[in-house]
A and B are shown apart, each in its own frame.
Chain A
Amino acid sequence: MNTTELHARREKLAREFQAILPAESVLYQTEDLRVYECDALSAYRRLPLLAVLPDTIDQVQQVMRLCRRLSLPVVARGAGTGLSAGALPDTQGVLLGLAKFDRILEIDANKRIARVQPGVRNLAISEAVSDLGLYYAPDPSSQIACTIGGNVAENSGGVHCLKYGLTVHNIQQLQVVTIDGDLLTIGGPGPDTPGYDLLALFTGSEGLLGVIVEVTVKLLPKPESARLLLAAFDQVEKAGNAVAAIIASGIVPAGLEMMDQMAIRAAEDFVHAGYPRDAAAILLCELDGTEAEVDAHLETVRRVLTEAGATGLRCAESAEQRRRMWQGRKAAFPAVGRISPDYYCMDGTIPRRCLPEVLREIARLSSEYGLPVANVFHAGDGNLHPLILYDANKPGELERTEEMGGRILELCVSVGGTITGEHGVGLEKINQMCVQFNAAELAQFHAVKSAFDPDGLLNPGKAIPELHRCAELGAMHVHQGRLPFPGLERF
């Protein structure tokens, strides 16, 4: 399609949508569509045919009915902070922006819930209920920007999910609009619902099953006390063993994070969190609960860390110091962004006991590919975020980075882990899905998808690879994570 034809097509479609939406809610000029061309994984970019920004559920229903009738793909979008190109538009489809759904509809302190629209930002919920002594537990590092709808679609986690769970553990009800335009209530205000657990199925479904138009989240009372310990180590391995030792002592910390030297230095230079620049690795261990409990646990954890060979141990002495120490961790991605023109964030999860082995192999890959890696790690739950540093302006470097990233994910699968702990598959990890799942399993996923969206209009091409795609890549999973054709173009 040439530019003139494309523009004509856009204008024609825009008229269809303008019949059901206010004119300003339908965008079809190239410059207006630019904002939506990528999510936070900006290596992937493309423009949708048009973007719509409804602000009532009724409008969403009408948009879906129209898309179904015209067989137009629909890609839902929250804040676009996703890291797997999940919200990447479809060039032949509609981008459905939920930014206007930004109202908190109800806060019920007695029930400890908040009913919110999907475009409400994660942090805005905790801020709104803070005066009541409550908060919403899952706290992705992107929480200032990302939306609760996106969180549900990705089953997002945060630094506190070892103790408080992921999004799936902290929501109780959704309102969703199906591709047919029907509005469904999934889950409910009671502890369970009759029939299948559709709430769990929807959580993490990456916009492939329906559009989330309302979320009821569970709130928790703020802990009476929270203390943050920082431990420095001269070897990454010792830090890894310390993590296992803390868990073995019978304590579940509220947060347990690890950073390696490159990540420590980048974060320290960026936010001056007070991290020891010469440490090979640091652990951040947060303990929360009642005053008495935290004091007791603090003592135990100090002892465990010392026995594990910590070379330095510091406890935040004030709320401000604690906030700053966390800030270093939460700003780790942008911090790494400052020391390299580009970085590529991986998201594999591994059994914790395999950490030393996996980190060694990542270091080896790093030298094989000549690409530095900074490691940020949700150590408590085994979720690794190796950040590969590269320069997209150097010819071939992005491709090498992606290939190396693929090898890291395959490594995670080969030790019994997964290719994605919290960022989702999106378009990015679609090939690695062929490594983690066999044809029958993928076919089962497609059957689930068809139960909701028989024509495959919702976020097509994401999350679950077509079987022929995997076949073309070769039966990758039988090779224990070794790609049969390392030279094969990845995307």
Chain B
Amino acid sequence: MSSSREAIFARLRDANPKVKTMETIAYQPWVSNETEVLKTRFIDGLSASHAEVLTTNRHALNETLKTLIIEKQFARIAIGTGGDLHSEIVKAISLVQITHPLNILQFDVDFAQCKSQLFNDIDAGITHCRVGIADTGTLVLWPDNTEPRTLSLIPPAHIALIKRSTIVSNFAELMVTEAWQNKMPTNIVLVSGPSKTADIQQTLAYGAHGPSQLVVILIEDM
């Protein structure tokens, strides 16, 4: 329908708007250089949005993850195939399996082949996070071949692993320092809590269509 395109552009160009230059007002989001302040705000924000935050260190990560899985009685777990902490995830799973039966879906096939299992037979998905944003208590997910998009979306619980050293002040700073404009992946998702809705009589309810539980494991690495 290229004639529609031409017609729309003709009308827009016809208006001949006077081009406005870049505004001089700067965005001033919340910012801090103190790592303790960043950490506290990050945890507070996520907790206020109903996420559970567990703090651990890299050494104890597999124990933390193991305990979490057992306590929450997750019996069917989906995981990716790579990432920095992948070996710890695998380790935690094998620790659980010593005492508890655990079904694992390793997401290494096309979505069409594991779609039904993801929707119907999985309790939790585990993913890494690229960055944390302290300002709003937000996780930045950057799904890729090893951790597909639906891993953090379809299972009713999402376990997100994040290293404390990745926490930045705010969203604007993040995209500038990482020069996102040069390397946008297929999909980036900012997650700030479990799925929710207030569509019925302004009453907040969790677990609308996304995960109803979000467990964040914050790994001390500084």
Do A and B originate from a single complex?
no
